[in-house]
């Protein structure tokens, strides 16, 4: 059996991600909170069913991490053998691209982010999160 030789290759570094301006952060945070309060909470945060052992959404919130803006949900676990009473899950991600544009991704069932839109404005991203079935918590 022939053994393969290891070969060194040049691997250029990735360009740095653009830093999100404070004005864009503030605008996005306020518009996202408005979307959550007016549309997402009434549609997805419901009181628990009686005698149910299934997880249910109790809270929706947003979070910044580096140049990514996440939409998150807190789930309650009423089953008596649950590992913890609650857990958090991210269901939508907006990645800052620069010049006020974002890439929009959703969390697949495989645990991987799947980018479906790129180069959208804040309002276009929030409209997609509100209307499309990929972004259901």
In a domain, 66, yes or no: yes
pLDDT average, residue stretch 10-27: 90
**Domain presence at residue 94:** yes
**Predicted local confidence at residue 79, as pLDDT:** 87
List, in order, residues 6 or more apart from 73 with CB less than 8 Å away: 44, 57, 59, 60, 61, 88, 89, 90, 91, 137
Domain-embedded: residue 129: yes
Query: Domain for residue 15, yes or no?
Result: no
Please report the pLDDT score of residue 107 as a whole number.
Answer: 94
Mean residue pLDDT of the chain comes to 93
> Residue 2 falls within a domain, yes or no?
no
Note the pLDDT tens digit of each residue in 82-135. Answer: 899 999 999 999 999 999 999 999 999 999 999 999 999 999 999 999 999 999
pLDDT score, position 131: 95
Indicate whether 102 belongs to any domain: yes
Reported as a pLDDT band with limits 50, 70 and 90, residue 45 is very high
Residue 13 counted as domain residue: no
Question: 2 pLDDT exceeds 80?
Answer: no
Q: How far apart (Å, rounded) are the C-alpha atoms in residues 11 and 27? A: 37
CA distance 132 to 68: 20
Domains: count for the chain = 1
* Structural domain boundaries, residue 37: 22-135
């Amino acid at each position: 059996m022939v053994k393969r030789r290891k070969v060194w290759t040049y691997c250029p570094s990735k360009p740095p991600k653009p830093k999100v301006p404070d004005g864009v952060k503030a605008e996005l945070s306020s518009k996202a909170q408005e979307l959550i309060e007016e549309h997402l909470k009434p549609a997805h945060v419901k009181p628990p069913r009686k005698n149910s052992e299934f997880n249910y959404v109790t809270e929706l919130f947003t979070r910044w991490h580096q140049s990514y803006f996440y939409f998150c949900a807190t789930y309650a676990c009423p089953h008596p053998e649950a590992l913890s009473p609650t857990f958090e899950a991210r269901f939508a991600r907006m990645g800052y691209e620069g010049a006020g544009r974002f890439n929009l991704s959703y969390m697949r069932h495989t645990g991987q982010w799947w980018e479906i839109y790129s180069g959208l404005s804040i309002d276009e991203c929030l409209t997609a999160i509100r209307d499309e079935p990929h972004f259901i918590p």
